[in-house]
Structures are given as C-alpha cells and as structure tokens.
Amino acid sequence: MLRRALPARPEARRILLGTLLSAVGRGLTLPFLFIYLTDVRGLTDARAGLVIGWFGAVTLALSPLGGTLIDRFGARRVVLPCLVVEAVGTASLALVDSTASAFGVMTLVAIGSSAIWSGQNTILASLTGDGERQRVFGLNFALLNLGIGAGGLISGAVVDVARPVTFQAVYLLDAVSYLTPALILLTLPHVGRRPAAPVGEGAAAPTAGGYLTVLRDRPFRRLVLFGLVLTTCGYAQIEVGFAAYSVRVVEVTPRVVAWALAANTVMIVLSQLLVIRRMEGRSRTGALAAVGAVFAGAWLVLGAAGVVGGGNALLAALGVVACSAIFGFGETMLSPVMPALTNALATDELRGRYNAMSSMIFGISGVVGPVTAGPLIGAADGRVWVAVVVGGCLAASLLALSLRPLLTPAQDGRPSPAPTPQPQPAPAA
C-alpha cells in the first residue's frame, strides 16, 4: 500500500521526505509551548495565552498575502524564505526571557509559517497528476503525524521544567528541522516555479483576477463553508473543548488525555494507507459527508463517557481514548480529500490563492472554536457543548452532500460514465 501511495515523480517523494523530517522537529516542541512560557520563562497563564493567540492571529492575517505571492512569484520563492524565517524564529524561542520578547519571537514565527502550508501543498499539486493527488496528500498527512508523534515521544523523555536547557535544546533541534525541506527544495531547481504562460495559437488565456475570482467559484465557496463548519465543530475543539470536557466533566486525569491523543496519532498512522486505498474511485463529497458523521460519532462517545463520569473510572477513560481514536479515523478520510478537491477546482494561475484560502479555514476555526468551547462546556454540565458540536458536524455532512451536484464526476473523484454506444446505420441495399 505504501508503494502504491508513493508519487511517481522522485521530486515529489523528496518533498514528502522533507515533510517527515520537519515534522519530527515540530513534534519535539508542539505540546510544550504553553508549559515552556509559563513554567520555565515565568509568564503568567493569561500572558502566555495571549502570546499563543497572537501567533494564530498574525498567521491568519498574513495567509492571503502568502497565496498572492505564491501565484505571482511561484511557490519556491515564497516557501524557501519562509522556512528560513521559521527556523530563525523557532531558534529564538530558546532565548525568550520576557513577555515582550515572546511576542516579538512569535511574530517572527508566524510570518514564517503563514505561507509554508499553502506553498507546500501548491508544490505537491504541481508534481502530481489528478489520479494520484488524493493518495499523495493522504500519505503526506500520515507522514506528518508519524513525525510529530515520534518527536513528541523523544521530547517527552528529555524535557524537564527544572532544567531549562532541555527546552532550549529541543527548540534548536526544531529550528534545524525546518532547514531540511529548504535544503531538499534547493536541490530541485525546477520545482515550485511559477507556471509558464501558454503560448501559440489556440492556447488558453491565463486566468485573471485574485481572491474575488476565487470567491466567485461557487463549488469552492460551498467547500469553504463546509470546511468552516466541520473544523469549528471538529478540529478546533480538540485542543480546548476535548481536553476541558474530559478533565472537568468526564473527570479523567490529564494523563488519560495524553493517552487519548497518542491513540489518535496511532490510528492515523496505521489506517491512513488502507483508507486511501479504499477511497480510490469513490465520491469525494460522499467521503466528506462521512467525515462529518464520524466526527459526530466521536463526540457522542465522549458525551456518553461524561454520563458515566466518576461512576466507572475505567469505562470513562476508555470512552475518552475511544473518542480520540474515532476522531483520528475521520481525519484519515478528510486529509486526502480536502486538498485534492481544492486543487481539482483550482486553476494553475490561482492555485496559491486556493490553497491559502483552504488553509485559512483552520485559522478561522482555530479562533472561533476555543472561544466558544469554554462557555458551552460550562452550561448544563457540558451537554450543550456536546449537542452543538454533534449538530455542527452533521450539518457539515449535509453541506458536503449539497456540493456534489456542483461538481463534475472527475472533480468529485468518480469515474466518468462511459459514453452510450450509438447504433450503426444499416448499410443501404
């Protein structure tokens, strides 16, 4: 299955290797930023939260500019400097000693990360054909989670709040990891350049316009709306809603939450290739609708664990872990389909903007989701929160099904119907 999922072009395989290596570095630091800022550098919880929120706001604000620059200059000329800026910013986190310096460093990190995801998706799309793109994006997501999981295991065994040098070491290693995909891209001089304008008679004129042209694309507008609803009631709830409900309502320990997140990663790594294989030739909108249903099922399992609560600690803990694992299975369906459908709708001239808008979905929901999770969990012992996220995921499924009539069979990933054979006229006597 791995051999089948690998892209045909060796350049794309090397880009995937860069994703894996940089993800290991990301996993070294991903779970510990809040702890590092508060327990090691002495920031208050409120100030650390503001610093992390500021990073998300700056990234979201700069993402549209990143898409425009990718279309104008090519993904290569945008991704390479962004990776260097990201590396410098991440290394500088090791030197943070005040709230002001934390804001400055996180601003630098946000500038670097604002165009990396959309730029790398644009590069992968340019190196793959329509038939393999969905498999490659799914493999990219599996490698990303594998690297983050491996990095998290390493740093979990190394970092120590009593020894700040351990945190400084993992941030420096994370910075080095961002240079790995940059070095790989430097060895591929013809990858990620701006598409050449067609020449000659009969050549199609390049698509004019910017984000207004993208927003006039009715199928893509529907896809964006689906993504906003799904991620607000899905992904955006993992960091705040899931953890808060598990600890406060289900009454499990933070260690159980850590086990649950590990189960999520294991589910993704073990099942992604199988899911990719099963989804070939099937409707992409049907898969997106199934993702909403799976996410809703995961939240229902967590709600049931909340009903059990302290009455049966083992059953409650199993419910929390099962919720995270089921959620991970839904992610394995979403990760290949969403970017593949985005790039099926995109034109070469506006591909950077399409990918930038797709990445902005997660930024917007990352702001809305955590802000709404706290008050909802505090109402009616968390039952209101469960009802809202389950209903939102099911609403996203309906939006996905409403997208199907707006797509061609090729865009939806379905085989085109075979042409009806025309009867041959009988020969004249």
Q: Going by C-beta distance under 8 Å and a sequence separation of 6 or more, which residues neighbour residue 271?
A: 328, 329, 332
Give yes or no for residue 418 having a pLDDT over 70.
no
Judged by average pLDDT, the poorest of 64-73, 253-262, 420-429 is: 420-429
Class of domain 10-192 (CATH, top level)? mainly alpha
- Give me the pLDDT at residue 156, please: 76
Q: For the chain, which residues make up each domain, given as ranges?
A: 10-192, 213-413
Class of domain 213-413 (CATH, top level)? mainly alpha
Give yes or no for residue 310 having a pLDDT over 50.
yes
pLDDT digits (tens, 9 = 90+) for 35-87: 888 888 888 878 887 888 788 888 889 999 999 999 999 999 999 999 999 99
Quote the tokens at residue 55.
Answer: 């990073």
Looking at the DSSP bridge assignments, the partners of residue 160 are: 163
- Give me the pLDDT at residue 302, please: 93
3-state secondary structure of 192: coil
Of residues 340, 226, 245, the one with CA closest to residue 292: 226
Give yes or no for residue 280 having a pLDDT over 90.
no
* pTM of this structure: 0.84
pLDDT digits (tens, 9 = 90+) for 108-128: 999 999 999 899 999 999 999
Task: Determine the Cα–Cα distance for residues 235 and 230; give it in Å rounded to an integer.
Answer: 8
What does the angle CA 244 – CA 245 – CA 247 come to, to the nearest 5 degrees? 65
- Give me the pLDDT at residue 198, please: 53
Identical fold for domains 10-192 and 213-413, yes or no, is yes
Q: What is the dihedral of CA 148, 365, 408, 336, to 10 degrees?
A: 10
pLDDT digits (tens, 9 = 90+) for 137-196: 999 998 998 898 888 888 878 888 788 898 899 999 999 999 999 999 999 999 988 876
As a whole-number percent, the residues of the chain with pLDDT over 70 amount to 92
- Give me the pLDDT at residue 427, please: 60
Of residues 17, 291, 352, 354, the one with CA closest to residue 180: 17
92-120 core/surface letters (b: 16 or more CB in 10 A; e: else) = bbbebeebeebbebbbbbbbbbbbbbbbb
